[in-house]
Amino acid sequence: MRFSAVACTIAAFAAAIHAVPIKWSFEDTVSVLNYALTLEHLEAKFYKQGLAKFDTTYFTAAESDDKVRERFVHIGEHENDHV
């Protein structure tokens, strides 16, 4: 199924990001908050673009339950709320 391939790709990308050693150097609290806000913007855009690309037809073709896409929509709404 194509949905499984997408899920595996996302999981692999997430694992790769966490494997990269990063030295954090924030000057102050505002820098930390701005960084967190940037991440929230990225997450919100990820769901917006993903849901635009993979519409209901895609999920139906992948033989997934209707609730799967609804859950992604719900998560995307939460990410927008975070921003």
Statement: residue 66 has pLDDT above 80: no
Residue 17 has pLDDT above 80, yes or no: no
**Whole-model pTM?**
0.63
The pLDDT of residue 26 is 77
Across 7-34, b (16+ Cβ under 10 Å) vs e yields: eeeeeeeeeeeeeeeeeeeeeeeeeeee
Total domains, the chain: 1
Residue 62 falls inside a structural domain: yes
Classify residue 56: in a domain, yes or no.
yes
Domain-embedded: residue 8: no
> Is 17 inside a domain boundary?
no
Range of the domain at 60: 24-82
Number of CB atoms found within 10 A of residue 44's CB: 19
Q: Does a structural domain hold residue 58?
A: yes
